[in-house]
A and B are shown apart, each in its own frame.
Chain A
Amino acid sequence: MRALRFYTLALLLLLLGLAITVQAQEPVTDDEVNEIAKDLFCPVCENTPLDTCPTQACQDWRDEIRQMLTEGRSEAEIQDYFVSRYGARVLSAPPREGFNWIVWILPVAAVVIGAVVFGRYLLTLQDSKDTEGSTIDVAQSTAPVPPPAADDDDYLSRVEKEVREG
């Protein structure tokens, strides 16, 4: 009975191993190849991504990608291979290193600097409006004739008295 269990377990393990092997040897699909190819550009056909480029050179590249995927290489490894062989220009975006950082930083920096400058400009406009507003208020408050004060009344009555007395 124990021997039967042992052989059953061994058979199951063997089948599992076979299943894994068969799965690993499944052919690489076009979609898997194109998933990597869409981010690569062949120098011969500029501006046409590798997944849609119809030339023989690009077909050769796609075959290379398929071969490397079959060998179990990762997307990063495949990209590194193409860069080492044909240069960084094959990538759809420049690698984030060295001088290339300018390409990544410049747009963000331009937006940030632009926002800061524009914000300051708006603040300046706001401040100048406030200043103008307060000037107008003062002007408007001084425009109407003020009601006569008590001192003025006294002065006027004295003047009127002197005029009457001649």
Chain B
Amino acid sequence: MNETLTGASAADPPAEAEETVAQKRSIRWSTFVVWGAVLAILGLLGWGLINANQTRPEAGVVAPSEFEMEFFDGYQWQDMSVASLEDMKGNVVVLNFWASWCVECRVEADLLESAWRQYRDRGVVFLGVAYVDSEAKSLAYLEQYGISYPNAPDLGSAISDEYEITGVPETFIIDREGVIADVVIGPVNASRLYGQLDRLVVQ
């Protein structure tokens, strides 16, 4: 009995030492994982904050154009059912976000259509983007106001995301080089719209 105890106590110190080393290693590993997870979460939060703080593109910056517009039937641009802003480069573009449920949009509807008819042959393209709107309601709205310029739904909210709009109506006037010349929040008024178009078509 004594021999057994003596033998065990003789073997104990190295075993305990090994166990302690193993524990220390596992603790180090756990610490590494925890800090890794904390850093990953902080990174994600930071990335989210940076994205959330993106603001609407302003006058003077290149207009976002990483999207394609799938036009409503009967509202194509130059007989193209799908087009991008790149296709329209060289033209002045009036990009107008609207919705059939938007009361303020109705205020500017006649003015936009009237301006389109006046400037369409002078290298100006009007583009309507229906924001968060059902297709049937959008088409009914276009018909009601006799709108004839190209119009498309904002599929997947891709276009409104690019332009970081905060509501409708919002209008971006883009020059021939693809740079934003003016941003109008709320209904467009005639003097501002015509003033910008007159300036941009001669550039």
Contacts and interface: CB of A to CB of B under 8 A. Distances in A.
A147 B160 CA distance: 93
B27 A84 contact: no
Contacts of A110: 37, 41
12 contacts: A57-B133, A61-B134, A84-B156, A85-B155, A86-B132, A87-B158, A113-B33, A113-B34, A117-B34, A120-B27, A120-B30, A124-B27
B99 A57 contact: yes
Contacts of A86: 132, 154, 156-157
Contacts of B132: 42-44, 57, 86
Interface of A: 42-44, 55-57, 60-61, 63-64, 83-87, 89, 102, 106, 109-110, 113, 116-117, 120, 124, 127
Interface of B: 23, 26-27, 30, 33-34, 37, 41, 44, 99-101, 132-134, 137, 153-158, 160-161, 167
Nearest to B154: A86
A106 B41 contact: yes
Given A106-B41, A110-B37, A117 B30 contact: yes
Given A44-B132, A113-B37, A116-B30, 10 more contacts: A55-B101, A57-B99, A57-B101, A60-B100, A60-B101, A85-B155, A86-B157, A113-B34, A117-B30, A127-B23
Contacts of A44: 132, 167
Nearest to A45: B132
Contacts of B101: 55-57, 60
A61 B132 CA distance: 9
Contacts of B154: 86
Contacts of B133: 57, 60
Q: Would you list the 3 A-B pairs with minimal beta carbon distance, nearest first?
A: A56-B101, A87-B157, A87-B156
A89 B154 CA distance: 14
Q: Which of B30, B99, B158 has the most CB of A within 10 A?
A: B30
Contacts of B30: 116-117, 120
Contacts of A63: 134
Grouping DSSP codes into helix (H, G, I), strand (E, B) and loop, the A interface class, with mixed when no group exceeds half, is helix
Contacts of B99: 57
Nearest to B33: A113
A84 B44 CA distance: 26
A106 B41 CA distance: 9
A84 B155 contact: yes
Contacts of B155: 84-85
Contacts of A120: 26-27, 30
B140 to A, nearest CB: 11
A19 B23 CA distance: 74
B157 A60 contact: no
Nearest to A127: B23
Contact of B23 (A57, A84, A106, A124): A124
Nearest to A67: B136
A108 B167 CA distance: 37
B33 A60 contact: no
A85 B156 contact: yes
Given A106-B41, A117-B34, A89 B23 contact: no
Q: Which of A56, A57, A113, A116 has the most CB of B within 10 A?
A: A57
